[in-house]
Structure 1
């Protein structure tokens, strides 16, 4: 990626440091087992999990590692070790937010992009059966004594989920 070398700067001791605005920067408070999704990824919550993880990765300036816009550099490049540290951190974040069975299926991945793509392929497919089930849920929902705001929140959640399932392919 052009400008990667600009991410490195020398400090007063002559050591190279990473600019805090760089995607290669890892804050001292970051750690691999940091929880960043409300519920671990399972067979039925990929859409919600993906949204939460995407928000978390954008906030940490690491989305480029999972969407492929920050490719793995050559081992001979200065940015190889910072990339490797970021990969280890992101892999920790992703796997911490998965059920054990799913975690085992991605433990040998060689990049965050590989993990992200594998999960999207397995769980993120447009699903006519899922859309059908959600539409059925929508027809069965009733207020049943709950407040208007609670009822509307349930409706809105189903509508949003249906929209997510029916999104056109990218």
Structure 2
């Protein structure tokens, strides 16, 4: 029940007749866990076109963060012991800041 109520109505309609939560989860995972290049492109375009306009700083930041959070769900950083990941994280943080400014 909570799983069905935590997704959009359109998606819920497509899985509401599945008998158990595990099967719903597997169905949704198979459907949405792949790399979605068109959506990644769309997110980048939305970030590039996002402006504050009449939004408060808080609302503008919230919109930008939502795009960035979704984008990061498509790009997971690998684990390593070479010390590169902190540098990459720093680069990404700076990139996020430039989007905000």
Q: TM-score, normalised by structure 2?
A: 0.60
User: How many aligned residue pairs are there?
Assistant: 78
Cα-Cα RMSD: 2.9
More helix by share: 2
Structure 2's unaligned 5+ residue stretches are 79-101
Q: Is the 8 A contact 1:138 1:158 kept in 2?
A: yes
Does residue 130 of the first structure (1) align with residue 39 of the second (2)? Answer: yes
Question: Is 2:79 the counterpart of 1:167?
Answer: no
Separation in 1 of the partners of 2:60 and 2:52?
5
The residue that corresponds to 2:15 in the other structure is 103
Q: TM-score, normalised by structure 1?
A: 0.38
- Give me the whole-angstrom Cα distance separating, in 2, the residues matched to 1:138 and 1:148: 15
Q: 1:150 to 1:34 in 2, by over 3 A?
A: closer
Aligned to 1:119: 28
Contact 2:43 2:71 in 1 (8 A): yes
Runs of 4+ more than 4 Å apart:
32-36
Question: Could you tell me how far apart the structure 2 residues matched to 1:152 and 1:168 are?
Answer: 23
